[in-house]
Amino acid sequence: MDKSATTRRHFLRALTCGVAIAFAPIGVAARPRRRPGFAGHPEPRHGVDGSLVLAADAVRTDLADTFDGIRSIPHIADGIGCHCGCGAMPEMRSLLSCYEGVGMAQFCVICEGEGRLAVELHAQGRSLDEIRAAIDRRFG
């Protein structure tokens, strides 16, 4: 598959997600409904690392800390399904995927929000199951 086609597909899906949220009624953007592409939470892969997460200097300044945080907890992020619908794309496996490649989380407030919450809760010592439950309550 042509790499530019994959990049274009990521961009268009992220753009669509952003436009839908921007033009949604106020309550909907704050508490989105379950997305059709959400396939549940995958089990984290053994030995997964954050080496494919975009570097902080490659993303918007306000997202650098979140990308760094996801890079430091790949074993957690790889076990979280993303509620934005990106799970319907074959190259997207978990929340970790949203921070790799073109960094879809740069364009999607759901990917970004799930990542921020996962990093914050992990820093508080929460387990993967607790983080999943919190993400489902807020974004599901």
Question: How do residues 76-130 score in pLDDT, each as one tens digit?
Answer: 999 999 998 877 777 888 999 999 988 889 999 999 999 999 999 999 999 999 9
Please report the pLDDT score of residue 16 as a whole number: 57
Structure tokens at 112: 């970004």
Neighbours of 23 (CB within 10 A): 9
> Distance between CA atoms of 116 and 65, rounded to whole angstroms?
9
pTM summary value? 0.72
Please report the pLDDT score of residue 117 as a whole number: 98
- Candidates 128, 70, 121, 75; CA nearest to 99 is 70
Please report the pLDDT score of residue 18 as a whole number: 54
Under a CB-based contact definition with an 8 Å cutoff, are residues 40 and 47 in contact?
A: no
The mean per-residue pLDDT over the stretch 53-75 comes to: 94
